[in-house]
Amino acid sequence: MILAEKIMSLRKRLGWSQEELAQQLGVSRQSVSKWEATNAMPDITKVVQMSELFGVSVDYLLKDNADDEQNLSFAASNQESIEADASNSSCDTDALVASESSAVRKVSLEEASEYTSLVEQNSSAIALGVALCIWSPIVLFVLEALSKKNFMGMSEGTATGIGLAVLLLAVAVATALFIVKGGKLKRYEYLESEELELQYGVEAAILRKNEAFENSYHLAVAFSIILIFLGVLPVVVIGSLFEDDPVSYLSVPLFLAFVGAGVFFLVKFGMIRSSYLKLLQTEDFTIENKRIGRRIGWFPGVYWCLVTAIYLAYAITTWNWAHSWGIWPVAAVLFAAIYVALRAWIQRKN
């Protein structure tokens, strides 16, 4: 058990409410609630007070693996401390050198809780921004199809003008979402690049959150993949039934609608899960991957600036806005290939 669970267990064993324990410690009920919910950590003076109130040792409260108080005593803990100091004294110099040679960022429980809460609050808006970028050409394609059918006397020029206006508006809204919502997470960018040292209780709390979220994440991924595959159906069906008909233009908007919805869930749930993995330093966020990431961190920005320049140059010179969007999926696939190749090259070089 971790400290939060022990506080709750010992409090209930004595039949105290959170308010009664708070009165004994001279703190607010909200403070006790935060301790038990692993949203905050009591300072050492409060831990000592609780050890006296509950009749247990400080060692029992602070050690996660000290679940049986009968096997612990103050004398035993002191002896263990002395033995540990003696056995580790020969390693002190190496530890100091290691700590000086690598910058390790300490993360408190409050900081970790604030970060994961911010990600949960802003993930939907950022995911919507990504989806809007995918959905932005939909109106353009629909109006173009309608203009070819001479719907309400709409000309192709009018359809293109309205469609482009909606496209630019959608991209502008998406950009605003990225700046406003993404800016709130900017101060936590170090979690992706720096080596972390989680303070007491952080790892256990994040592991519990990750385990509780795991099922929702896998369901969201499965649902997203289904939506993306369903998006292919209109392209195949409408394309085969209306091969030379302007109606075939509607297959692409339907495809983009499904893909955008699928990507929304992938980004939303992926961001939340990534927040846990960053703190735990697992999967894509291991220390080794962070070191590699620092060496190729320049690449995404340079690459997408070049792609944007190529897109604008092509679209403006040819005025083929309706089909120039195809540059983006090609660029995305190419980006993944180059990024993987760069990582492999750096790993071999190391």
Structural domain count of the chain: 3
CA distance linking residue 275 with residue 117, whole number of Å? 10
Q: Which of 233, 254, 282 is the last residue of a domain?
A: 282
pLDDT of residue 322: 58
Quick one: CA torsion of 309, 312, 318, 320, rounded to 10 degrees? 130
268 and 155, same domain (yes or no)? yes
Does residue 288 form part of some domain? Answer: no
pLDDT of residue 246: 62
pLDDT of residue 70: 43
Q: Which residue has the higher pLDDT, 322 or 50?
A: 50
Does residue 142 form part of some domain? Answer: yes
340 and 242, same domain (yes or no)? no
214 and 268, same domain (yes or no)? yes
pLDDT of residue 250: 78
Residue-wise pLDDT for 120-153, tens only, equals 999 999 999 989 988 988 888 888 777 776 766 6
90 and 126, same domain (yes or no)? no
**Per-residue pLDDT for 185 more than 50?**
yes
273 and 187, same domain (yes or no)? yes
Tell me the percentage of the chain whose pLDDT exceeds 70: 83
Does residue 27 form part of some domain? Answer: yes
pLDDT of residue 137: 85
**Per-residue pLDDT for 85 more than 70?**
no
115 and 17, same domain (yes or no)? no
Mean pLDDT of 160-180: 89
Host domain of residue 155: 104-282
**Per-residue pLDDT for 79 more than 50?**
no
CA distance linking residue 132 with residue 121, whole number of Å? 19
**Per-residue pLDDT for 312 more than 80?**
no
160 and 249, same domain (yes or no)? yes
Query: Over 11-68, what HEC string results?
Result: HHHCCCCHHHHHHHHCCCHHHHHHHHCCCCCCCHHHHHHHHHHHCCCHHHHHCCCCCC
**Per-residue pLDDT for 90 more than 50?**
no
CB 248 within 8 Å of CB 239: yes
Does residue 338 form part of some domain? Answer: yes
209 contact partners, CB below 8 Å, separation of at least 6: 116, 276
pLDDT of residue 127: 92
**Per-residue pLDDT for 100 more than 80?**
no
237 contact partners, CB below 8 Å, separation of at least 6: 251
**Per-residue pLDDT for 73 more than 60?**
no
Does residue 204 form part of some domain? Answer: yes
CA distance linking residue 162 with residue 169, whole number of Å? 11
Q: Which of 255, 282, 309 is the last residue of a domain?
A: 282
41: its two tokens: 């950590």
Mean pLDDT of 16-26: 85
Mean pLDDT of 62-71: 58
Q: What is the largest CA-CA distance in the chain?
A: 92
Does residue 221 form part of some domain? Answer: yes
Mean pLDDT of 219-244: 84
pLDDT of residue 95: 43
pLDDT band at 115 (very low <50, low <70, confident <90, very high): very high
Does residue 317 form part of some domain? Answer: yes
301: its two tokens: 């920005």
33 contact partners, CB below 8 Å, separation of at least 6: 18
Query: The domain that contains 43 carries what CATH number?
Result: 1.10.260.40
271 and 305, same domain (yes or no)? no
- What is the pLDDT of the chain when averaged over all its residues? 79
37 and 158, same domain (yes or no)? no
135 and 88, same domain (yes or no)? no
What global pTM score does this model have? 0.66
**Per-residue pLDDT for 20 more than 80?**
yes
Name the 3-class secondary structure at 326: coil
65 and 199, same domain (yes or no)? no
124 and 249, same domain (yes or no)? yes
pLDDT of residue 82: 38
Does residue 99 form part of some domain? Answer: no
Q: Which of 40, 69, 94 is the last residue of a domain?
A: 94
